Amino acid sequence: DARCPLWAWRLAALPGEAPPAPEARHAARAALRAVRRQCMNCAGNRYEVRACQARESCPLWRCRFGVRPQTYKAVRRRFFAPKALRLF
Ligand code: SF4
């Protein structure tokens, strides 16, 4: 169905079959944005996307934030890392 945000990606290359950069980088970013749009349509809002419990059943779950899973982990690690105490 062409109304699905992932419709244009239904014939996309499988992981490991990506075209060479920089087209690959652009295509990957566009695909991640499409996944994010699909998740927003599916769940309704970003809080529900964050709380999505479909880890085992939905193939989009790992990319639901619209970034690569590695990027999400790095940002999360940085955010929750111990920080030096600043008094003033
Ligand atoms: S990961 Fe969750 S919010 Fe995204 S499409 Fe799948 S079920 Fe819907």
For range 3-26, the mean pLDDT: 68
Tens-place pLDDT, residues 23-69: 777 888 888 999 999 999 999 999 999 999 999 999 999 999 999 89
At position 88, the amino acid (one-letter code) is: F
pLDDT band at 11 (very low <50, low <70, confident <90, very high): low
Taking the centre of ligand 1 as the mean of its atom positions, its distance from the CA of residue 69, in whole angstroms, is: 15
Taking the centre of ligand 1 as the mean of its atom positions, its distance from the CA of residue 18, in whole angstroms, is: 24
Taking the centre of ligand 1 as the mean of its atom positions, its distance from the CA of residue 83, in whole angstroms, is: 33
Ligand 1: atom nearest CA of 49 is 3
How far is residue 51's CA from residue 57's CA, in Å, rounded to a whole number?
A: 14
How far is residue 5's CA from residue 42's CA, in Å, rounded to a whole number?
A: 11
Torsion of CA 62, 13, 8, 21, to 10 degrees: 90
